[in-house]
A and B are shown apart, each in its own frame.
Chain A
Amino acid sequence: MQKHILNRLKKVFKVEGDIKAPLRIKIVADKDLVSSILLYLKNQMGFIHLNHMSCVDWIEDNKFELVYIVWHPEQKQTVLVHTFIDRDNPVMENIDTIWDQANTYEREMREMYGIEFPGLVGAKEFILEDWQEMPPMRRDFDTKKYAKETYATRPGRENARDVRKEIMKRSGEELPEFAKKYSRD
């Protein structure tokens, strides 16, 4: 069954792919082909459900990898459609005309990775509010540095130092026996 699905996709679209697991087929497609593949999967092959869309940041290759996961409810099969887009100019085709729920995923990707989807409906702000830096899920965004600069820390608790001994001294209490093995020193 899986081989049949894979061969059919390979024949129609000339894509590469292999069988990852008993219920999982992976294909890697060109960016421009993705929407036709998804439409074909939905209308001709019965993969009527869009499970998930996600994005991976391959900063070393200067690429974003987008993954579309679709599901066939009767055959219990999953197809993962992978595609790569340019990281400097991240534009991807909008597929919310195929599945409405793609809109939500795309808005999140736009906010978290800065990927543009031309024709995408919906407010620019999705989850974050008043965000002025670069999109926070990109790997070149230095989260730790930003958090350190923006949010005040409590003096003395800037790092993960074990302060139980000091508290013991201050309050005159004994560290219970069971707690001793959790020491960080």
Chain B
Amino acid sequence: MFEMTTLVIPTEQRRSDEESLITENKMTNNPDKNIKTLGIPTEEEIKQAQIDFAPRCTSAGRVNDKETQKMVQYILNFARKHSLFVLAYGTGCGAIEIPATMTSRYDAERFGIRGAATPRQADVLMITGYLSTKTLKRVIRVYEQMQDPKYVIAFGSCTINGGMYFDSYNTIKALDRYLPVDVYIAGCMPRPESVINGFIKLQELIQNGNAGGGKCYRDNLDWYRANQQKVIKNWDFPDKYNW
């Protein structure tokens, strides 16, 4: 599998080949360009040079080919799967299960799950219970600040279908309308075993390359925004998706 030697790029060689090809073409197509001016290049020449000498991605022999990407992706996923940094953030009743999951009895750190202090360092956002609209606003801001790849795990029946707050005037009912959720953990409240089970499910998804709602969120941003704006009345987010 690790036949890395085939991937070494004969850079110098290929560059010069390409350049010569390009200059040949130009000579035939555009006779004006043949006249060599010595000294300071004109603006046009600079522009042309920028186009000509820009690094090119061709498939053969480059790092960008499909096989290599697959392998790189495999290694990346493997690493991601075993270092899930969870944002230390809790809503609803469920945050009380997190200390139990993280500490010595259940010891989630043996799976590479551990806390992260800020959203920029975190991979996983755990929604541990019901979300009032006030909290939802903060959660969306937090989610948007996280770096790709990012995953969302939602806890408890409150995030799935409203749970026992189904008729509350202030809590949302289906979380995946507002944020892309990777794994739902059922229960009210799920015990640490099921929390760890959920994390293992997420690891499987990551390994297969199926996890990570970040792209989904970016692609369907309009749909998500429309849903979010329906419940968040005073919308004061930045207009553009800005990270």
Contacts and interface: CB of A to CB of B under 8 A. Distances in A.
Nearest to B174: A154
Interface string A97-124: 0000000000000000000000000000
A153 B174 contact: yes
Contacts, number: 53
Q: At the interface, is chain A mostly helix, strand, loop or mixed?
A: loop
A150 B167 CA distance: 11
B197 interface: no
Interface in A126-185: 128-133, 136, 141, 143-144, 146-147, 150-154, 157
Interface residues of A, number: 18
Interface stretch (B3-11, B25-33, B228-236): B228-236
Given A128-B134, A129-B137, A130-B233, A152 B227 contact: yes
Contacts of A143: 167-169
B162 interface: yes
B154 interface: no
A151 B133 CA distance: 10
Interface residues of B, number: 22
Interface of A: 128-133, 136, 141, 143-144, 146-147, 150-154, 157
Interface of B: 133-134, 137, 160-162, 166-174, 177, 227, 230-234
Cβ-closest 5 pairs across A and B: A130-B234, A130-B233, A157-B161, A129-B134, A154-B161
22 contacts: A128-B170, A129-B137, A129-B234, A130-B133, A130-B232, A130-B233, A131-B233, A143-B168, A147-B166, A147-B169, A150-B169, A150-B230, A150-B231, A151-B172, A151-B173, A152-B174, A153-B161, A153-B173, A154-B173, A154-B174, A157-B161, A157-B162
